[in-house]
Amino acid sequence: MTVRRRKMQIPYLILRSELMSKAKEADRRHRSIRSSA
C-alpha cells in the first residue's frame, strides 16, 4: 500500500511544485504591475 501511495505521491509533488512556481511568477508579475501603477 505504501508503494502505491508513493507512486501516486511523486506526480502529485511535481504538479504541486509546478503550481507553486506558476503562482510565484503570477504574484511577482502582479506586484510589479501594482508597484508601477
Each residue of 1-37: pLDDT tens digit?
A: 577 777 778 888 999 999 999 999 999 998 988 877 6
pLDDT number for residue 32: 87
Owner of C-alpha cell 508597484: 35
pLDDT number for residue 5: 74
pLDDT number for residue 37: 64
pLDDT number for residue 23: 96
What's CA 29's distance to the chain center, in Å?
15
User: Using alpha carbons only, what angle is made at residue 5 by residues 2 and 3, rounded to the nearest 5 degrees?
Assistant: 45
Rounded distance between C-alpha atoms, residue 23 and residue 28, angstroms: 8
pLDDT number for residue 1: 58
pLDDT number for residue 33: 80
